[in-house]
Structure 1
Amino acid sequence: MSRSTVEHSSRSNTRHLTVPQGVALYVGAVLGTGLLVLPALAAKAAGPASLIAFLVLVLVSAPVAATFGALAGRYPDAGGPATFALRAFGPKTSAVTGWWFYFGTLAGMPAASAFGAAYITELVGGGRTMTMSLAAVLVLIAIGVNLFGVHLSGRVQLVLTGFLALLLVGTVVLAAPKADTANLQPFAPHGFAGIATAISLLVWAFIGWETVTHLAPDFRNPRRDLPLATGISIVVIGVLYLAVGGMTILVLGPRAGETEAPLAALLGEGLGTSVRVVAAVIAVVVTLGVLNVFVASMAKLGAALGRDGALPHWLAKGSRSGDVPRRSLLVVTTGTAISFVVAILTGFELEQALLAENACLIAIYLVAMAAGVRLLPSGGKQRWFAVIATVLVFGVLLLAGWYLLFAAALAVGALLYLKFSRRSPET
């Protein structure tokens, strides 16, 4: 993609995402469905010392998020990390990076949506078929919102994130009177190994910084707005995670590692109300927020990949700022439907699909951070953030294990497409 294409993209429409909407998109994407269960899993692994794991990951995510914000501000394009890879390493790496997000996320959509649906199923009754049906409904809602463009998607996200933040703050405030510092003892019952396990679990709760980069050209002034939205989001997300993690330990104590819905359990402690109802409400809000961001990002990315030759040119319509990528959205809808059918017919474990998606996302992070080292101004703090983030993400990538084979298969697919397609990517 040429520089003129990017610059025209950022000027072509007067309807823009705002900084508050950018923060809402980031918070919705990063807090994610992991917020529903991971505080309890971390507490089970490390006890009160899981708070150290939260703090470590908040600090680790800062340079990663800052690098994404700096790159998106300098190179605002619907391709997101694929654009960064194109500028830094060329069309082959760009295509592979784009395929990792586009198809990797499609594979994980049933799992991501089933998190929220499972809470509803538990409330109203039903089995796996009911859960998958409700999950499909949640995805269709997100797709329907995005049919009208990112300006509506951003407004919806602002409402969802505002409601989620209200729920989280309300949960912490209402549960705080029952906090007991005695629950901090013993602080590290499983030692350093427990803290390491908690970190490996919680790392999945801090993925999502890459999503908003695909929407960068829809901001009025990406170079100013993206780093600002990123900085605010780092603080908001860090405070919310530490607050929820801290209250989970201080209020629930030994029960923190036993509950499947720590947020609902905390709010139930404060209100004395039905934990199942609270869990369902929180789960639906969180899940819709995640799906809304990912559908918007995938649709924009698909259009950019079509424009650049990494996917059929038919998909290219909708890659510019303000345009609605309906063709790409149709592919996202169809691909998601296929993923649901496969998951239902094969009984494939949803967690495995989600871990395969996470392997792709971490690989994207590594390429994007390495691109930051190459593209950001030398000698400045942004370059140093990128260097630090590259080292940290490489360490996280090793945790993906055998699931990296899925990312490798998609990489081969992307390279074969480039080789045999008639059109070559634009440079």
Structure 2
Amino acid sequence: MPIPRRRVRGVGEGVVDARHGDRAGSRPRGTEECVITATSAGTRGLSTSAAVALYVTAVVGPGILTLPAAAAQKAGPLSLIALAALLAISVPAAFAFVHIHRATSTRAPTEQAGIQQYVTAAFGRRAGRVAAAWFYLGVPIGVPALALIGGAYVSAAVGGGRVTQLAAAWAIAGVAILANVRTARSSGALSLVLAVALVVLILGAAVVSIPYWRPQHLQDFAPNGVLAVVPASLTLMWVLTGWEASTNFVGLVRDPHRRLPRVIGITLVVVVVLYAAVALPEILVLGPFAGGTSAPVAAVLHAAIGDPAASVAALLAAVLALANSVAYLASLRELGTGFLPPRRSTGTATGPVRALLVPAAITVGGLLLASVTDLDVSWFVEVCAGSQVPVYVAALAAGLVLLRRRSRGWWTALVATIAVALLLIPAGPFLVVPLVIAIGVLVVDVARRR
């Protein structure tokens, strides 16, 4: 899940800083040179393997533990086609963001890169503010989704059903909010350790489950009809998120002009393997609809090695969800300090605690809604995706303005823009949220100007 912020410190669905987006546009349009900092230009900087590890932590988060199964519950084995399509879209999207970054980067690309910057440089300050508002107001509903993912695995381990899941989700979200009130930092080292543990869990579960694969589960490939692939695609939207984080890492990679394409290519292969190692065993072991469970990886492990599997999966899922939620809220808080208007009394910028109030309130509201209804994780993901898809379309479309026409980067951005724009179809009614947010931002801006 992508959130604009200055530096990526947590595991997950990729985050980028958009606070300084209004500074974009200082570089002439059509330039695509790679700006390399002193750190990356010399011998220092991340090697290819270290950079791949960093990219994987930005792209793959706890959503991989649940969302492929949630998509299978909507479309059966046909959800594998939706997953493959989104992974294919990731290829031009990942490289397009690198080209766009090169066209808009300043002398400090790792500090001032982000989606708001791209949209502002291409379409103006007001469009950039709308994109930032979609993130700040539309994306926080993803925090309850992360908490519910962790809670589902805790429930699978200790029992208690929905009550235990909600209790664990409230605990995860509460700790994440309190952590962001007290500190502005989250541990990058912890994030890397957790990401490695996630990879080991996923690949280990896939390997030990091989004797329990049942190919006959694929025979009825579209049990809910071909059109079921549409809602399944929206549920899997988080597969795309995180690639915009690549703009944050350009200055961290040793010799980025030469290494970056290789790093992104290897990362794409790793991400594809991880999602395949989750989605295929879930259907082949648990059945066409992935067993209808909210903790599918734990269920696959349980089928292979018995009761201890649930406890291992629960511990990792809960810690991953907490780490991701802390980073998620921290980045939204950072975005809010630049997005919200200055204090009227002093004229100073919004403080971090005040900037945290809105995403914290949306998080609490989402968990309250989950507590009084039977809404599952996929619904919260789809609401979040309703705001994410327009932001991605706007950011990739900015490449068509900023990049030299008919250059390799321009063609990459064109393919990515068209492919991601197709996701507006399954977004359907969830686009009401970004529409209302955009109208609100425009009304406020007009009122301020008057």
TM-score, normalized by length of structure 2?
0.75
Match of 1:32 in 2: 61
Give the letter for the 1:130 counterpart: A
Unaligned runs of 5+ in 2: 1-22, 28-34
Asked if the contact 1:38–1:202 (Cα under 8 Å) also holds between the matched residues in 2, the reply is yes
Asked if the contact 2:250–2:260 (Cα under 8 Å) also holds between the matched residues in 1, the reply is no
Match of 1:323 in 2: none
Give, in whole Å, the separation in 2 of the partners of 1:242 and 1:307.
44
Cα distance 1:99–1:226, how it changes in 2: closer, same or farther (>3 A)?
farther
Asked if the contact 2:386–2:430 (Cα under 8 Å) also holds between the matched residues in 1, the reply is yes
Give the letter for the 1:265 counterpart: A
Give, in whole Å, the separation in 2 of the partners of 1:243 and 1:203.
18
Give the letter for the 1:401 counterpart: G
Which of residues 408, 411, 416 is equivalent to 2:438? 411
Match of 2:215 in 1: 181
1:47 matched to 2:47: no
Unaligned runs of 5+ in 1: 317-326
Which of residues 396, 400, 415 is equivalent to 1:373? 400
Give, in whole Å, the separation in 1 of the partners of 2:72 and 2:333.
37
Sequence identity (%): 33
Give the letter for the 2:92 counterpart: P
Give, in whole Å, the separation in 1 of the partners of 2:335 and 2:187.
16
Give the letter for the 2:431 counterpart: L
Alignment of 1:10-409 (within 5 A): 23-24=52-53, 26-74=55-103, 75=105, 76=109, 77-78=111-112, 80-121=114-155, 123-124=157-158, 125=160, 126=163, 130-140=167-177, 143=180, 147-148=184-185, 153-211=187-245, 213=247, 215-216=248-249, 219=252, 224=257, 229-254=263-288, 256-303=290-337, 305=339, 314-315=348-349, 327-328=351-352, 330-343=353-366, 347=372, 353-409=380-436
- SS of match in other structure, 1:106: coil
**Cα distance per residue 1:18-64 (max 9 Å; x no partner):** 86666455434543343232322333444334332222221122112
Cα distance 1:115–1:250, how it changes in 2: closer, same or farther (>3 A)?
closer
**Cα distance per residue 1:263-314 (max 9 Å; x no partner):** 11122222223454244124224424533543454344345547999xx974
Query: Aligned residue pairs: how many?
Result: 404
Cα distance 1:49–1:399, how it changes in 2: closer, same or farther (>3 A)?
closer
Give, in whole Å, the separation in 1 of the partners of 2:263 and 2:338.
23
TM-score, normalized by length of structure 1?
0.78
Deviation at 1:375, TM superposition (A): 1.5
**Cα distance per residue 1:229-252 (max 9 Å; x no partner):** 443322211111112212223333
Cα distance 1:212–1:48, how it changes in 2: closer, same or farther (>3 A)?
same
Query: RMSD of the TM alignment (CA)?
Result: 3.9
- SS of match in other structure, 1:378: coil
Cα distance 1:138–1:238, how it changes in 2: closer, same or farther (>3 A)?
farther
Deviation at 1:176, TM superposition (A): 1.8
Asked if the contact 2:39–2:45 (Cα under 8 Å) also holds between the matched residues in 1, the reply is yes
Give the letter for the 2:397 counterpart: A
Cα distance 1:241–1:132, how it changes in 2: closer, same or farther (>3 A)?
closer
Match of 1:322 in 2: none
- SS of match in other structure, 2:209: helix
Give, in whole Å, the separation in 2 of the partners of 1:97 and 1:146.
27
Cα distance 1:108–1:185, how it changes in 2: closer, same or farther (>3 A)?
closer
Say which structure is richer in helix.
1
Give, in whole Å, the separation in 1 of the partners of 2:48 and 2:182.
20
Give, in whole Å, the separation in 2 of the partners of 1:415 and 1:79.
24
